[in-house]
Amino acid sequence: MEAGLAPATLEAYSRDLRDLFGHLRQRKISDLKRLRPNDLAEHTRYLHRERKLDPASIARHLATLRVFFRFLQANRVIEDDPARLLEVPTRWKRLPGVLSPKQIKALLEAPLTMATDAKNGDVGMLARLWIRDRAMLELMYAAGLRASEVGALRANEFNPTLGVVLVTGKGNKQRLVPVGKPAQQWVKRYLDEVREPLLKRFGDQRDQQRLLLSATGRPLERVAVWQIVRRCANVGGLKDVHPHMLRHSFATHLLAGGADLRVVQELLGHADIATTQIYTHVDRSRLRDVVKKHHPRG
């Protein structure tokens, strides 16, 4: 509550601490008051050598340890902070995976392909869930939404008149993001043909506020979003696709089309523009075009 961390961050920190406690138990260490910097350094080596974690994951583990032991010291559970001397491993900036416009098209069209290939003969409401999947994918790409953000959207946060969605991101920070006409049209179709029948069938006992609902009228959770994206990617002939790639593609395609970096930062909800700058390194074709057009020797 003090730091205003997102639920996903709290979940990650909890996993990190469980990893620490499990490793300490293996080494017969049970008293945190007697823990020394060397013990935590050994835990770091364990994460690298045995768990085979990459530097970014280890850096997150160390951030968890720093916060945890600083908390214990502030509350006088321990006298000295054993995590104060831990060194953060060098982190190379990894370029995000991005889908091409052609691949995006294949992903967006996959829900209808799955519905057409279905052999159960169900022509009822369940057979129209592909419309929900298409609307979800369109929204994620049109607005650069995270899996958790699209799942948490409420029906009243989509404004069809203005063509915008009100998104609640990390740290409960809100931002208004415009969406294009294709996404608007698919969301409207989903609302009319799928969501309304679901509410009529399950409305008295289910959450009526969320925009995206499951086949049983429950809110579509983050795990379900991942499953839908993976399933659609497989049908579209795409490999190693995850929900965040739609967000990466959104930002990269905007910048490649000439969008201002500050605007993209605002749309993504990044607090620091340095986080957004990584997308400037993904698409080199625009840089070549600019040089060729404006340089006298281009």
Q: Which of 66, 170, 218, 242 is catalytic?
A: 170
- 61 labelled catalytic: no
Q: Are 37 and 9 in contact (CB under 8 A)?
A: no
- 173 labelled catalytic: no
Instruction: Strand 174-178: give its sheet, edge to edge.
Output: 158-159, 164-168, 174-178
- 146 labelled catalytic: yes
- 45 labelled catalytic: no
Q: Which of 43, 132, 146, 248 is catalytic?
A: 146
Q: What is the DSSP letter of 31?
A: -
CA triple 55-4-59, angle to 5 deg: 10
Q: Which of 61, 134, 247, 248 is catalytic?
A: 247
Q: At 78, which amino acid appears?
A: I
Beta bridge partners of 175: 167
Q: What is the DSSP letter of 261?
A: H
Q: Are 219 and 153 in contact (CB under 8 A)?
A: no
Q: Are 112 and 134 in contact (CB under 8 A)?
A: yes
Q: Which of 13, 141, 190, 279 is catalytic?
A: 279
- 170 labelled catalytic: yes
219-to-18, 151, 195, 205, 206 alpha-carbon distances in Å: 29, 7, 11, 12, 8
Catalytic sites, residue numbers: 146, 170, 244, 247, 270, 279
